[in-house]
Amino acid sequence: MELTNDHIKNRLVEKFGDHVANFTEPYGMLTFEVPKDMNLKVLQFLYDDPELRFQFLTDLQAVHYPDNTGKELAVVYHLHNLKDNVRIRFKIYTAIEKPDVYTATQLYACANWMERETYDFFGVNFIGHPNLKRILNVEEMDYFPLRKEYPLEEQTRVDKDDEMFGR
């Protein structure tokens, strides 16, 4: 049987009920949200389920939404079922004051550096990670540069007036 987005959705709702929410399909990829303390349960279920078999972690990264109070940081997982060739994406949201998320390194060896990168740039604290330290930036850095509060250019510059154009 073909593994359709509807079928995946039904299997997930069957298993987790209301905890998985906000199903959308932007550009054909099933996307949903999961409470942050359930990310490992969902990953494990998607991995083990004989029909779903999402056993390849394509990508893991974070997004910062400063206006989303209480859910400022989103961690996004891209998973791939190589047998049926289906991709899905799910997100967990966490507060920026306490960005604690369970690590996926026990399930995927490749999550190690992806999580280190996410920690490096967003400060997401992956609980249980074997070696959570900065990877691309210098270790002395004391901030998380991809958060939106760090502008790319100095905002006090007057020679570049962006009032008319751009963000």
Partner 1 sequence: MTEDVLSYNREQNIKLPDGSIEKQTTTLNLGPTHPATHGVFQNILEIDGERVVSAEPTVGYIHRAFEKIAERRPFNQITTLTDRLNYCSAPINNMGWIMTCEKLLGVQTPKRVDYLRVIIMELSRITDHVICNSVIGVDSGALSVFLYVMEYRELVYEIYEEVCGSRLTTNIGRIGGFERNFSDTAWQKLEKFLNEFPAALKEFENLLQRNRIFVDRTVGAGPISAERALNYGFTGPNLRASGVDYDVRVHTPYSSYQDFDFNIPIGTTGDVYDRWLVRNQEMWESLKIIRQAYEKVQQFKGADAEVYHAHAPEYYLPPKKDVYTKIEELIWHFKIVMGETEIPVGEVYHSVEGGNGELGFYLISDGGRAPYRLHFRRPCFIYYQAYPELIKGSMLADAVVILSSLNLIAGEMDA
Shortest approach of partner 1 to residue 61 CB, angstroms? 4
Q: Which helix (H) or strand (E) holds 151?
A: none
Q: Classify residue 158 by its DSSP letter.
A: S
Place of tokens 């939404």: 65
Residue (69 or 85) nearer to partner 1, CB: 85
CB of 155 to partner 1, least distance (A): 12
Q: What is the binding site for partner 1 (CB under 8 A)?
A: 26-27, 29, 31, 55-59, 61, 63-64, 76, 78, 82, 85, 87, 89, 108-110, 112-114, 117, 121, 134-138, 145-146, 150, 152-153, 165-167
Strand order in the sheet with 86-94: 21-24, 30-34, 86-94, 73-81, 56-64
Least distance to partner 1 from the beta carbon of 40, Å? 16
Tokens in use for 31? 């996307």
* 116's tokens: 């280190």
Residues 52, 56, 59, 64: what is their CA dihedral angle, to the nearest 10 degrees?
40
- By beta-carbon proximity to partner 1, the closer residue of 15 and 33 is 33
Nearer to partner 1, 10 or 137 (CB): 137
Taking the complex as a whole, how short is the minimal distance between the CB of residue 152 and partner 1, in angstroms? 5
